[in-house]
Amino acid sequence: MQLDSLYQEIILDHYRSPHHAGLAEPYDVEVHHVNPSCGDEVTLRVELDGDTVTGVTHHSVGCSISQAATSVMTDLVIGKPVAEGMATYEEFLELMQGRGNVEPDEEVLEDGVAFAGVAQFPARVKCALLGWSAWRDATAQALAAREGVSNG
């Protein structure tokens, strides 16, 4: 229950000036995700070029953890292959579900390591995952739409 471990300076920086905030054109898919129990909302757009994530932009309403996690997520996935972004998500998820017992790999998670402290606040884990769930959904939809086109 150490506040400073939850609210790392990196998190507060991302919260105050979130990266890739503001919905941009062009995009392939837009999704809107909410945490119904608390009301946090994110609208997120994804653009793919082949298997590479070329753009992720968002408009988020919510707490510092959800906004900062969404911001960090955009940095982690933009310019990377989809598969690498999904693998990064798995690693971030493992960190969040680790109750503080998982040592984060800064090589993979970059600023995401700052969220290690969130794992000790079970009520806040869902905040840190909101942006990620929106990105995964939008990306899956974008891939499925492309499959549909190439198969059709």
Sites of contact with another protein (CB under 8 A) = 1-3, 6-7, 12, 37-41, 61-66, 121, 123-124, 127
Least separation, in Å, of the C-beta of 103 and another protein?
Answer: 23
By beta-carbon proximity to another protein, the closer residue of 38 and 93 is 38
Q: Using an 8 Å Cβ cutoff, are 121 and 63 in contact? A: no
By beta-carbon proximity to another protein, the closer residue of 80 and 126 is 126
By beta-carbon proximity to another protein, the closer residue of 20 and 124 is 124
Least separation, in Å, of the C-beta of 145 and another protein?
Answer: 30
Least separation, in Å, of the C-beta of 64 and another protein?
Answer: 5
By beta-carbon proximity to another protein, the closer residue of 64 and 141 is 64
